[in-house]
Amino acid sequence: MTAHAISVQGVSKIYPGGVHALDGVSIDVRPGEWVAIMGPSGSGKTTLLSILNGLDKPTSGRIQVLGTDTHGFGPDDWAVFRRENIGLVFQQFHLIPYLTAVENVMLAQYYHSMPVREQALAALERVQLAGRGHHLPSQLSGGEQQRVCIARALINDPKIVLADEPTGNLDEENEARVLELFRALHGEGKTLVVVTHDPEIGCAGERIISLSHGKVSKDSATAAGARLATVGGPPGSSGDPCATSAHA
């Protein structure tokens, strides 16, 4: 039996007022797999991601991450688990405005172990921001801020990277750069779960899970995923959802 990086079983999320954001969602993500979660606004994508990273709690259902059953995890358990295993990339970057780029990266180190400036600078270099470490977020472009955010997500060498609309606020050039970074991470064997509206980002992964009204409406391998599947096993059940995409 394959050990899943992420296993979601029958997860539902009902917000106060009775809004069903997720309704019995079950998905498995293999270690090293690149999964895109797509769907229209309000389909539950971001809620699912928030539940996967422990910032939100499911109303029902169970979640295993890296073999750990997170049922019963409190906020502090999740904080520790997140800093050890999960890197987060946000659409709005969420950089601390009064800290420089390198300090923003070091912040993740601070809560993980110990801030080391050299390592943080190396992480920035990796996202092609060498020499921009001393700049404040306000002095960086959106694409640069997103790359700082990615460097921060990677500084503690997480096994899983969860990204919420990582290219939502970026132009094409920066989108391509972020995509390149994700490819590199995938190549390193990181498990990637990317919530996106962007078919190009979605189709860059191995598998696309489509959500609609809080349910999984489609779970299919992309062309890239199908190629890998011939080597490593079937990731999804349906045909290539990117076949008709302009970006496919």
Partner 1 sequence: MLAHMIRHSLVRSAGVTAWSLATLTASAALATIFVAMSIDVGQKMTSSLRSLGANAVAHAGQRRDGVGAPVTADSAAWERAHGLAEAKRADLVEFHLRVGTLQGAPVAIVTADAAGLARMTPYWGVNGRRAAGQDECVMGRKLAQVLGTSIGATVEVRLDGAAHHERYRVTGIFESGDEDEGRMFVSRKPRPEEARFTYALVSVPGGEPDIAAFNTSLAAAGAGIELTPLRQVLHGERAIIGKINLLTGVALLAVLLLSSVGVTAAVLSRVIERRKELALLQALGAKRHSVVALLLSEGAAIGVAGALLGYAAGTVLSQVIVRQAFGVSVTPHLAPFLAAVVVSVVIAVLAASIGARRALRMETAMLLKGE
Interface characters, 156-195, with partner 1 (x: CB under 8 A): --------xx--x--------------------------x
Number of residues that bind partner 1 (CB under 8 A): 35
Query: What is the SS3 assignment for 53-88?
Result: CCCCCCCEEEEEECCEECCCCCHHHHHHHHHHHEEE
How far is 158 from 155, CA to CA, in rounded Å?
A: 8
Give the nearest distance from C-beta 90 to partner 1 in angstroms.
6
Residues 34-63 that bind partner 1 (CB under 8 A): 46-47, 50, 53, 55-56
Residue 157, number of CB atoms within 10 A of its CB? 12
Instruction: Work out how close the CB of 207 gets to partner 1 at its nearest, in angstroms, rounded to a whole number.
Output: 21
Are 140 and 101 a contacting pair, CB within 8 Å? yes
CA distance 78 to 134: 31
Question: Of the two residues 107 and 226, which places its CB atom closer to partner 1 in the complex?
Answer: 107
Out of 24, 31, 61, 115, point to the residue binding partner 1 (CB under 8 A).
Answer: 115
List Cβ neighbours of 80 (8 Å cut-off, separation of 6 or more). none
| Minimum CB–partner distance for residue 203 and partner 1 (Å) | 20
Q: Could you give the CA distance from residue 203 to residue 206 in angstroms, rounded to a whole number?
A: 7
- Which of 28, 59, 79, 232 is the binder for partner 1 (CB under 8 A)? 79
Q: Which of 94, 159, 215, 218 binds partner 1 (CB under 8 A)?
A: 94
In contact, 150 and 89? CB cutoff 8 Å? yes
- Which residues here bind partner 1, judged by CB under 8 A? 46-47, 50, 53, 55-56, 75-76, 79-80, 82-84, 88, 90-92, 94, 96-99, 103, 106-108, 110-112, 115, 152, 164-165, 168, 195
